[in-house]
Chains A and B, each alone.
Chain A
């Protein structure tokens, strides 16, 4: 039976790295993301390079109707999966009070709701002749409360705990769940700039996405719960457990604010307190 790897957020930097890694192993792919044009270009290039079959389906994972349409397509086409890689996720960085409510909702809907629903749904469409591997992209941020990225970091903590728990719960059913927790990755010029702004630490925690994808797939095939790529990041992730959370939060806030100040012209500005929005 033809069996696919489902990848969400496939056209982003990390998504493309996962696509290439899976394709290089001879696996057929089913890709989803917002932009149809980008999906088609990626599918064509991947098919040519690796000689695998690539299906695409554009959609918005924050929209229930769009998610429904995706799974109806899966159902109608008889597609089955042996792996699901939940890459799709987002953040709107900066002070909590400065965020629009819609931005916060998007983080929750995409990072948490979207991932949970995709994970739940794929179980009904798995290829039963082999183990089902699920990879959830969490973040190093999932190990700490992060001021100025509070909702994002908390959503990644959600994915971390969710994945570790499910990996235990579903083990008997030949399903494994792996949480990938990378540091910031150099995927867009914006990301590269942010890494640059963090100075030496930024350089030392950064890894090429190609390598991250390879390591993660290997870990998933071995059924590991958590992947933290890079030895520096592994140290950072374990340090978080040694100090009280509020202390860690304070250290992170100082570092992050300094990094952001170096990016914005005129330096950091004090958090403005706005009148509450109408709900």
Chain B
């Protein structure tokens, strides 16, 4: 199993829980220090855990491709060449408009494009497994928003919440379209895990001022990461999910996402754009 954003918050809790259940987990993080820290912490809870960490900054498409290569090698070596679960958890929030090295807006690039690209790069591995799952960590924030087609990078009308909500909506649109396209040719299925309000540092790393203060207060009402990770772990590992037609889950139960998120035309349009932005041939 691969878990992105595995060094803190929901990702770290999910990695620990999955490893404790005996899964062979590859965690992905940006910082060498925090990867080592997370690995150590997990081994303390579950000394027999098979867990390793790979370094990659998902804001860079070059690094995502290198990461995929490293995962393919690792899985070929130690996983029989098949990947059972990919958890697209890494996410970010930014007070200000920031562009990645590829020139894409950071929130869109990390929260959506990274998941899109990584999933595609790992598709051969996922397809080799009997019934692989792609679990993307979404959010209730996907509701009451839309894709801003005329300025999708929000260059001219950037607002921290608008960027975040759009990216979470993109998570659902992507997962729905994935099932429509991929289901025809392979048994891989995508699910979206809504973790609810969770007390993590997501709103502290790239923000300042009001946004930072608001998250600092709001996070206190959230559950601990280990509880936020429940649905992620459930979707990744529980056998009852097998073959389920439900896309969006919260508290380990299916939930209806927003009507916009289920629109096939919007999903197809986002898919075409994302494929182009990730440099994939049509």
Contacts and interface: CB of A to CB of B under 8 A. Distances in A.
Interface in A1-21: 11, 13, 16-17, 19-21
Contact of B208 (A11, A17, A44, A192): A192
B3 to A, nearest CB: 25
Interface in A40-86: 41-42, 44-46, 48-49
A206 B97 CA distance: 11
Nearest to A50: B103
Contact of B101 (A11, A195, A211): A11
A24 interface: yes
16 contacts: A11-B101, A17-B97, A17-B99, A20-B153, A21-B155, A24-B155, A41-B61, A41-B103, A45-B101, A45-B103, A48-B279, A195-B208, A196-B208, A208-B97, A210-B156, A210-B158
A20 B101 contact: no
Contacts of B154: 210
A124 B36 CA distance: 55
B98 interface: yes
A209 interface: yes
A196 B213 CA distance: 12
Interface string B15-33: 0000000000000000000
A196 B95 CA distance: 12
Given A13-B98, A49-B103, A20 B277 contact: no
Contact of A42 (B98, B103, B155, B277): B103
B60 interface: yes
B260 interface: no
A203 B98 contact: no
Given A48-B277, A49-B277, A192-B96, A42 B101 contact: yes
Interface string A183-218: 000110000100110000001001011110110000
B95 A186 contact: yes
5 shortest interchain CB distances as A-B pairs = A45-B102, A210-B155, A186-B96, A45-B103, A208-B97
Interface string B147-183: 0000001111010000000000000000000000000
Interface string B83-98: 0000000000001111
B215 interface: no
A200 to B, nearest CB: 9
B155 to A, nearest CB: 4
B95 to A, nearest CB: 7
A21 B279 CA distance: 21
A197 B92 CA distance: 22
A41 B102 contact: yes
B75 to A, nearest CB: 27
A246 B112 CA distance: 51
A38 interface: yes
B62 interface: yes
B276 interface: yes
Between B100, B103, B158, the greatest number of chain A beta carbons within 10 A of the residue's beta carbon is seen for B103
B277 A45 contact: yes
Contact of A209 (B97, B104, B208): B97
Contacts of B208: 186, 192, 195-196, 203
A19 B277 CA distance: 16
A16 B96 contact: no
B97 A214 contact: no
Between A21, A41, A45, the greatest number of chain B beta carbons within 10 A of the residue's beta carbon is seen for A45
Nearest to A11: B101
Nearest to A189: B206
B98 A49 contact: no
A211 B208 CA distance: 19
Nearest to A187: B98
B120 to A, nearest CB: 15
B205 to A, nearest CB: 9
